[in-house]
Structures are given as C-alpha cells and as structure tokens.
Amino acid sequence: MGKSEEITKGKEYILAESVHKAQMKASSAYDYHRLQDKRCYFVPCRIEENEESLCFTYELEGLTPLKEVKKNDRGLIYSLLIQVGELEEASGVYDFSLEPDNLYYDAQNRVHVLRRDIMKEEADRDYFKEFQALAGALLQKKYTYDDYLRGGMDLLNRQEETKGAALWKGMEDALTDLSQKQHELRSYEKTHMCRIKRGKYRAVVTGMLLFLILAAAVSAYTFYQHYSVIVPQRAALAAQRAYVESDYVSVIDSLREIEPDAMDIHEKYILAVSYIKGQAVDNFSNEAKDNILSRLNVGGDSAVMDYWIYLGRLETREAEDIALKLSDNQLLLYAYLQERDQVSRDSSLNGSDKAQRVQELDGEIDKLAEKLGIQYDKSTEEE
C-alpha cells in the first residue's frame, strides 16, 4: 500500500504508512473520520491528509499479529476465528483484508483490524471464502492464506486439521462448529489438565533441571571412578599377584587395557619386566635379556619402562620416539629390530612397501650396530 515504517517512541510502538489517495476508496473528510472510528475492532489510527497522499499512523502497543499465533494453541485460534467471523456484517461497510498480518489481537484476545477502507456499494466480495482461507492458514503450517485463496477447497481437504473448514456451508455453520470445538476443548482441559502459577511452574522446571544436571554429574563421576580408578586398581592388584607367582603372561593380560600414563612406577616396572622375561620381546637371547634386566630398577627412569611396555605391545613407533628422546642408541636398535621383525611378518603390506621399509630399517640398524660395535646378523636378528 505505499511506504510503511515501524517506529518505537518511548514505550509506544507505532506503524506509519503513506498511501496514495488514488489507491483508496475513501475520498472525503467524512470517510477519513469513519476510518479513525475508535470502535473495538479497529487498530487505533490517526490519518493526516496531504495533497496527493494519506499518512496512516497505527498504534500497535500491546497488539500481536495473528500470523504469530502458535498452531497448537487451538483455544486461542477458535476464539479469534469466531470474532473474525462475526465481523462479516462490518465487511459490508468497511473494506479490509483477512490476511493474518492485517489482523491483530490484544491482551484480552480481542481481534483488531489494521488496514481498512470504505466499502462501496458496487463492490463484490466473498467474505466467507476469505474466512475459510484464514482458518486454514491458522490451523496448519504447510499452506498460507494466499495458497487457500487460490486453491480453495482442494487444499483444505488435503490437511487433517483443515478438513472441517471445507465442510462449512456458510458463516453461521462455521461459527457453530468453531463454538462447539471451543467448548469441547475447554471441557477436555478442565477434565484432563490443571493450571499452575507461572512462578510455581518455573520453580518446578528449575528444580527438574537442577536434578537432571546433578544426576548427570553423579553419573559422569561414577563412570569416571569406575573406568579411571576402580578398573586400573583391580588390574594392578591382579598384575601384582601374577608377578609374585612369576606368571608374566597374566601380568601382561591384566594390564593390557591400561595406558602407561595411567600406571604408577611399580606397575610400569612389573609390566616392563614381564614383557622382557616373557615371549613378547622375542628378538633377544636369554643373556641379552639378563643384561637388559640388570639395568632396570624401580627407582630408575620411568621413560625406560614405558619404552619396554610399548615395545612389548608392538607399538614400535612409540618405543622408537622414547629411545630418540633418551638418546639411547641401544634402545633405538632394539626398537628397529622389533619393527623389522614386525614388518617382515605383516601380510597386509604389499611387497614394494614392505621391501622399502625393511631396506630403510636395515640401513638404520647397520649404522647403529656399527656405532655400538655390535655384529648384526640379519639371519637371526640377535646380538
């Protein structure tokens, strides 16, 4: 309808629109006065007349457009539709659209018309069809008011929520049906629902949220305690008993799921010894193992224990990293020997990748063996 502008002045919320006189049926001061009538179903409005246009200023404070009504608020929708239906008589005097953005309701849920004009006698209007389109738009989400004006009864019949509107024979029938549905809804709410004060409801919701947060925190703490404390403690106890009995395989099995970072120094020591004495580290002679064990003690560097644990678990890259950090060529040699054996046995590697990695490892092993003055025999891969 021309230019419009929404303005907030202090606590007042107004909408200002400029409309060319040629677009209006109202043409006299008397007509303009009628459009400013403060009857209950009009949004309060002031009209300023200019040479070629009219400036409408609507006071929207406390009003909500019908297009913002929630689809599940059936009681409010029925009430608003009944009021709009009762405006049919006024539509013979005033021309106004039933588009949801042209209709507002106040805090008492009373309907107000925004844009309006004078209705001329020769005007031809199907108010009931527009009313059905409005009902369809408010009762579901898929189709709009304009969709129903174009699609008519076909669209109303497609949605379960709007099939009843398609059966209305006229406005009187529609208002009777809506009043009956409103009564049934109120009876249902009275029987099956109860109203509580907003403050009490918020207190209940807040309490439930706090309970859920507390329950989640307790569950998380219990989960943490079980998997981070209880499980490692049980594993450590089983490993210590197995170590006393020289059952090194059981020591390894007991601590298999525990990462070295989660172990204390005693658990690391017995696991490292078990890997060296057991069959997990297979590239060394008994004499070599005895020599290795003589250098390992509970009061020693825990990184060395981590090295043997990773090597025993065949995580050779981690073992190599530790050896490099310790600058220990002998440990690095052991890790390369273990990786070479692991790569040689890995059937998942293709031939070229396997050969390339073995060649790289042989080169590193030869260099380290030469530095350490060790004779390396590739056929046995032992010292």
Residue 50: CATH number of its domain: 1.10.510.10
Tens of pLDDT, residue by residue over 203-242, are 777 888 888 888 787 777 766 655 556 777 788 888 889 8
Average model confidence (pLDDT) across the chain = 86
In this structure, is residue 214 part of a structural domain?
A: no
Element (H, E) at 325: helix 316-326
In this structure, is residue 227 part of a structural domain?
A: no
Q: How far apart are CA 270 and CA 285, in angstroms?
A: 20
In this structure, is residue 278 part of a structural domain?
A: yes
The domain boundary residue, chosen from 162, 192, 222? 192
In this structure, is residue 209 part of a structural domain?
A: no
What's the token pair of residue 168? 């209305």
The domain boundary residue, chosen from 165, 192, 219? 192
In this structure, is residue 122 part of a structural domain?
A: yes
Q: How far apart are CA 53 and CA 19, in angstroms?
A: 5
Q: Is the pLDDT of residue 164 over 80?
A: yes
Q: How far apart are CA 148 and CA 135, in angstroms?
A: 9
Q: What's the whole-model pTM score?
A: 0.52
Q: What pLDDT does 128 receive? A: 94
185 shares its domain with 284? no
31 shares its domain with 157? yes
CATH code for the domain in which residue 268 is found: 1.25.40.680
Q: Give mean pLDDT, residues 368-382.
A: 70
Q: How far apart are CA 17 and CA 38, in angstroms?
A: 19
162 shares its domain with 271? no
The domain boundary residue, chosen from 173, 192, 211? 192
Say which residue, 116 or 288, is predicted with more confidence. 116
Residue ranges making up the domain that contains 350: 258-372
Q: How far apart are CA 383 and CA 381, in angstroms?
A: 7
In this structure, is residue 229 part of a structural domain?
A: no
In this structure, is residue 245 part of a structural domain?
A: no
262 shares its domain with 147? no
Q: Give mean pLDDT, residues 329-334.
A: 89
171 shares its domain with 315? no
3-state secondary structure at position 153: helix
264 shares its domain with 184? no
In this structure, is residue 248 part of a structural domain?
A: no
**Residue 323 confidence class, pLDDT cut points 50, 70, 90:** very high
CA 364 to the chain's CA centroid = 51
270 shares its domain with 176? no
Q: How far apart are CA 83 and CA 74, in angstroms?
A: 14
16 shares its domain with 121? yes
Where is average pLDDT lowest: 90-94, 201-205, 271-275?
201-205
157 shares its domain with 292? no
The total number of structural domains in the chain stands at 2
40 shares its domain with 120? yes
134 shares its domain with 264? no
Q: Give mean pLDDT, residues 149-159.
A: 82
